[in-house]
Amino acid sequence: MASKNNGFLDQLVNGITNPKGNLGSWQHASRTFQDDYFRLAPKSKFLYHVFFDINTSALKSLNLKYQHQNEIGLLVKSADLPKFTLKTATLNQYNRKKVVQMDHELMPLNIKFHDDRAHIINTMWQNYYAYYYADPSAAKTPGAYSRNAMKSSNYIRTTYGFDNGSSIPFFNKIVLYQLNKREYVSYTLINPLITSFSHDQVQSNDQGSAGAENNMTIAYEAVSYNVGSIRGGKVKGFAVDHYDKSPSPLSAAGGGTSSIFGPGGVIDGAADVLDSLASGEAFESPANFLSTAITAVNTYQNTKGLTNAGVRQEGRNLLIGGTIAVAAAGLSGLKNVVFPSRTGNGGTTQANQVDF
């Protein structure tokens, strides 16, 4: 038993005096992506939002705009971000090769939707199709597609094809948002038009239980970029419909905890209040001001629950946690990995495993 304790103490001393260990600690590699609040960490693909700004004058069903416009973006299963092809040419300048730019091309984007049971995406497509093309309305007119419809102009009772009198765009714009750390990067598609739309297939084989989807391809004339905070409703249609706005009980706004550190603690709550005041978010709306005030009150109430014993225990936890991390790094330079290591009672080698 004593030899095991001596071995651990030796590893603790080695971890303090030689923190790099037998191999470089994982922390050295993590500096790039974890330091400075994960500033250089890659973005997650699943944090996104898409907003479809539909022209009210182009709609056949106005409830699509006023009731379901934000829900269209929620039903986006996946979406391409803008793609560009830059065209260049290699010229011969007195036998010297010179590459020059000639043109650029905006590549079409693909957007996949869930084929929802409320028919929202289907309704959007029907409105788009009926706005630009007369065929959906003509197909409902008796005799419009009969065999003798072309024998005499008397049989032509409706317009066909693109002869539908559409002059304004159906989509004012389509905006794709990447979300990250309460910030967004937006890609606004200028003058977007649908170049293809396809419904899914129905089937009764082993793939029939998969969710149905609709696929749409968009062409556009330009892209506008922007970046900013998601606060203040700057991300159009985000966190509006079907969004749980009740604060978590672990956060200071939802009650918090009577602790100094950690989520919902005094420091965390004070930081939220100061950040809201400094950014001006607290004054953007009465609801924001009330939320900031509630966070401040909860943080103040939590300070009353602090005790000397609790503060000392948190300090001990931090100290012990830091000491264990240093000792774990000193064992082999890697956590939760078994490597041979010298013990403190001689030249015998044994396998030590760190598992905290």
Structure-token pair, residue 189: 């598609």
The pLDDT of residue 40: 80
Higher pLDDT, 121 or 70: 121
Check residue 312 and report its DSSP letter.
Answer: H
Q: Is residue 354's pLDDT more than 50?
A: no
The pLDDT of residue 155: 64
CA triplet 49, 53, 56: central angle to 5 degrees? 150
Tokens 């002059």 correspond to 167
Label residue 179 by pLDDT band (50, 70, 90).
Answer: very high
**Hey, which of 21-25, 34-38, 130-134 has the most confident mean pLDDT?**
130-134
Listed as own residue / partner, the contacts of 268-277 with beta carbons closer than 8 Å and 24 or more positions apart are 269/295, 269/296, 269/298, 269/299, 269/302, 270/299, 273/299
The pLDDT of residue 25: 59
Check residue 150 and report its DSSP letter.
Answer: G
CB atoms within 10 A of CB 60: 14
In the Cβ-directed half-sphere of 1, how many Cα atoms lie within 13 Å?
0
The pLDDT of residue 106: 94
**235: exposed, middle or buried (C-beta count within 10 Å: 0-12, 13-18, 19+)?**
buried
Classified as helix, coil or strand, 267 is helix
β-partners of residue 85 are: 105
Annotation: CATH topology of 48-233: Pnp Oxidase; Chain A (2.30.110)
Q: Please give the Cα distance from 125 to 60 (Å, whole number).
A: 11
Q: Is residue 34's pLDDT more than 50?
A: yes
- pTM here is 0.67
Q: Are 131 and 171 in contact (CB under 8 A)?
A: no
Q: Is residue 108's pLDDT more than 90?
A: yes
Q: Is residue 193's pLDDT more than 90?
A: yes
**Hey, which of 12-21, 75-84, 335-344 has the most confident mean pLDDT?**
75-84
Q: Is residue 242's pLDDT more than 50?
A: yes
| Continuous segment of H or E residues that includes residue 198 | strand 193-198
Tokens 């080698």 correspond to 349
The pLDDT of residue 148: 67
The pLDDT of residue 275: 78
Q: Is residue 223's pLDDT more than 70?
A: yes
Label residue 17 by pLDDT band (50, 70, 90).
Answer: low
Q: Please give the Cα distance from 352 to 350 (Å, whole number).
A: 6
The per-residue pLDDT for range 272-321, each reduced to its tens digit, is: 777 777 777 777 777 777 777 877 777 777 776 767 776 677 666 666 65
The per-residue pLDDT for range 256-273, each reduced to its tens digit, is: 777 777 677 777 777 777
The pLDDT of residue 185: 93
The pLDDT of residue 251: 72
| Continuous segment of H or E residues that includes residue 202 | none
Domain boundaries, the chain: 2-25+244-351, 48-233
